[in-house]
């Protein structure tokens, strides 16, 4: 199916949080996330792709969100797996969102698979496809990400 | 009992709902403004109908944001959209248009001027096996512009070390530039480059050494140029390809044993890599001089690749008739072994990653690749 105005509006309502959360997991900045989220959806609106299903649209949105976020980080020359900065403003306003904060503290290579696995209910195969990374690598990153989360959350049997 | 999954989803949804203020209508309006901005001056009085936008968006202009939180990076977005349009409408290359749309793009924007040409190396895109360079070439000579819907460009595309020390070992790459639909003295060029240098992560040099134009009535003129660009494309900019390596897969044809060594499955094509030794074969007899055998060897491998059938989930693919591939012989033993040759037949692109079964056949010989 080709993108139409109705399909676009439906996709936006359905996947706005998907796109927003993936981008935020990369860029960790609400202003940049809002900008990039719009760019992704404008791309969707102008897309010539023939979508096979809602899942196809969702996978396309996640892949484009990931690629645009990486391009954005590269353009700002701050690609880094450095620890989550403690002093950025929104962090102080997230007192009750402990889990989101802890996931955001993970290095990017663990953070994104963890997010897609737990938030999007994506399988290892789906994460592998959408991030274009071998399944074996995703398995290792999920395992290590979980280990780090268990330590930081101090809940060994929760994940 | 709450789970990490349920708790994480709830917190992330709360965070998104609290921060994502933009409505679907806002985005739709922006998207339509985006389409509007792509129209030329004569079209701006008309409302862009959704069904028409695919043929009318062309020149990208800066957007005026409706509200500060809607401010987006128009420069980057405009460049991406512009390139999508170029590949779709000018180069008729839907595959690359989709690659650009998905964000596989590295913008360079370096400009060099010489003689009647001002050439901008705009960006690099493509997949990891077939990188593509995009140039915008402005021509200042009105007569040349009048007489040419196309221009021909030759350029070296090499690693920095190879460009500085081994230029004589390599040939230039060729591409034809297509005239822009609106700017009469602008030509767009999409040139395929060598993956070996462009995907290494090391510095690359592009040197436009020649541009050919039709001066009048097919009186072709060559402009010798030296427009040089230096850049380092990041390895992750390209759409990924699937590589596979093989052992002990022998195909005998015309007195030569061709061994399948590797394969690359990309979005543009699938390339198989075979190696063979010609010395001591029934094909060569007692002859050991490559120069003597070259022509016959050439005929033999072209016949051999015609006999190959790539079978993917039951569907059969033959070698590309317009681009059967290429060959290379290591007569000095500098790379793969003295008098060892490689042939690299090219097949249509297939979905290797999702295929259940990939088989290569030639005559009675058949091997399972996946």
Q: What is the pLDDT of residues B275-305, one digit of tens each?
A: 999 988 989 898 888 888 988 999 999 999 9
Rounded CA-CA distance A105/A140 in Å is: 18
User: Between chains, do B31 and A13 touch, taking CB under 8 Å as contact?
Assistant: no
Q: Specify the pLDDT at position A103.
A: 92
Instruction: Mention every residue, 6+ apart, whose C-beta is less than 8 A from residue B183.
Output: none
pLDDT at B68 over 50: no
pLDDT reported for residue A84 = 38
Query: What is the predicted pLDDT for the residue at B291?
Result: 85
Please state the rounded mean pLDDT for residues A143-153. Answer: 85
Task: Give yes or no for residue B334 having a pLDDT over 50.
Answer: yes
pLDDT band per the 50, 70, 90 thresholds, residue B41: very low
Owner of token pair 């010539």: A48
pLDDT at residue number A83: 36
State yes or no: pLDDT of A95 exceeds 90: no
Which stretch of DSSP H or E encloses residue A116?
A: helix A108-118
> pLDDT at residue B356 above 50?
yes
All structural domains of chain A, each given as residue ranges with its CATH number in brackets, are: 1-82 (1.10.1740.10), 96-159 (1.10.10.10)
Residue B70 has pLDDT above 60, yes or no: no
Q: Quote the pLDDT of residue A157.
A: 67
What mean pLDDT do residues B327-333 have?
84
* Mean pLDDT over the full length of chain B: 83
- Please compute the mean of the pLDDT values over residues A46-52 and round it to a whole number: 85
Q: Which of A9, A19, A43 to mutate to test the interface with B (most CBs of B within 10 A)?
A: A43
What mean pLDDT comes out for the span B64-84?
45
CA distance A2 to chain B (A): 11
Q: Is pLDDT larger for residue B207 or for residue B81?
A: B207
Q: d(Cα B79, Cα A75) in Å, to the nearest integer?
A: 14
Q: pLDDT at position B80, please?
A: 64
CA distances from A50 to A57, B255, B348, B352 (A): 9, 48, 21, 20
Dist. CA B87–CA B89, nearest whole Å: 6
**pLDDT tens digits along B202-213:** 999 999 999 999
- pLDDT value of residue B264: 95
CA A75 to CA A69: how far, in whole Å?
A: 10
Greater confidence, B214 or A82? Answer: B214
Mark which residues 76-105 of A lie under 8 Å from B by CB. 90, 94, 96-100, 103
For A:102-131, CB contacts with B below 8 A are 103, 115, 118-119, 121, 129
Distance CA B36, CA B269 (A): 36
Torsion of CA B62, B65, B71, B74, to 10 degrees: -10
pTM: 0.57
The predicted-structure confidence for B100-138, as pLDDT tens digits, reads as follows: 999 999 999 999 999 899 999 999 999 999 999 999 999
Mean pLDDT along residues B68-96: 68
Of the candidates B5, B57, B73, the beta carbon closest to that of A35 is on B73
B16: nearest CB among A17, A68, A96: A17
Evaluate whether ipTM surpasses 0.85.
Answer: yes
Region B301-327 average pLDDT: 93
Average pLDDT rounded to a whole number, residues B164-184? 87
pLDDT one-digit tens code per residue, B203-247:
999 999 999 998 766 677 888 888 999 999 998 899 999 999 998
């Amino acid at each position: 199916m080709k993108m139409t105005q109705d399909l676009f509006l439906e996709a936006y309502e359905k996947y706005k949080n998907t796109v927003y959360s993936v981008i935020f997991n990369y860029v960790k900045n609400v202003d940049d996330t809002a900008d990039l989220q719009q760019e992704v959806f404008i791309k969707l609106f102008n897309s010539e792709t023939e979508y096979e299903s809602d899942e196809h649209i969702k996978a396309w949105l996640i892949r484009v969100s990931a690629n645009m976020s990486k391009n954005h980080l590269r353009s700002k020359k701050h690609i880094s797996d450095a620890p989550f900065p403690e002093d950025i403003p929104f962090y102080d306003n997230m007192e009750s969102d402990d889990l989101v904060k802890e996931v955001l503290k993970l290095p990017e290579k663990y953070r994104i698979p963890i997010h897609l696995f737990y938030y999007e209910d994506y399988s290892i195969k789906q994460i592998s496809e959408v991030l274009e990374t071998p399944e074996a690598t995703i398995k290792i990153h999920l395992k290590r990400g979980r280990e780090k989360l268990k330590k930081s959350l101090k809940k060994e049997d929760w994940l | 009992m709450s789970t990490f999954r349920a708790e994480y989803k709830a917190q992330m949804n709360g965070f998104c709902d609290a921060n994502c203020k933009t409505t679907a209508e806002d985005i739709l309006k922006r998207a339509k403004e985006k389409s509007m901005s792509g129209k030329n001056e004569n079209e701006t009085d008309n409302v862009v109908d959704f069904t028409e936008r695919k043929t009318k968006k062309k020149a990208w202009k800066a957007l005026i944001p409706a509200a500060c939180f809607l401010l987006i990076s128009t420069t980057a977005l405009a460049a991406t959209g512009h390139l999508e349009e170029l590949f779709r409408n000018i180069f008729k290359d839907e595959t690359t248009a989709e690659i650009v749309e998905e964000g596989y793009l590295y913008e360079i924007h370096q400009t060099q001027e010489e003689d009647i040409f001002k050439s901008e190396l705009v960006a690099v895109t493509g997949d990891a096996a077939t990188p593509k360079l995009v140039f915008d070439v402005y021509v200042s000579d009105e007569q040349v512009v009048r007489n040419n819907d196309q221009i021909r460009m030759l350029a070296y595309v090499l690693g920095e070390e190879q460009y500085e020390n081994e230029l004589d070992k390599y040939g230039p790459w060729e591409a034809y530039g297509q005239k822009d639909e609106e700017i009469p003295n602008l030509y767009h060029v999409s040139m395929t480059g060598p993956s070996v240098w462009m995907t290494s992560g090391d510095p690359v040099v592009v040197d436009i050494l020649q541009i050919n134009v039709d001066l009048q009535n097919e009186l072709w003129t060559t402009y010798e140029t030296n427009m040089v660009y230096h850049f380092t494309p990041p390895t992750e900019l390209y759409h990924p390809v699937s590589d596979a390596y093989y052992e002990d897969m022998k195909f005998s044809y015309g007195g030569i044993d061709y061994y399948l060594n590797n394969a690359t499955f990309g979005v543009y094509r699938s390339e198989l890599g075979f190696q063979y030794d010609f010395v001591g074969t029934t094909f060569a007899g007692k002859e050991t001089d490559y120069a003597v055998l070259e022509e016959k060897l050439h005929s033999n491998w072209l016949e051999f690749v015609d006999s190959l059938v790539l079978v993917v989930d039951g569907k059969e693919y033959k070698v590309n008739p317009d681009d059967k591939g290429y060959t290379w012989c290591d007569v000095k033993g500098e790379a793969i072994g003295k008098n060892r040759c490689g042939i690299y037949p090219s097949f249509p692109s297939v979905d290797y990653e999702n295929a259940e079964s990939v088989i290569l056949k030639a005559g009675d010989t058949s091997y399972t690749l996946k």
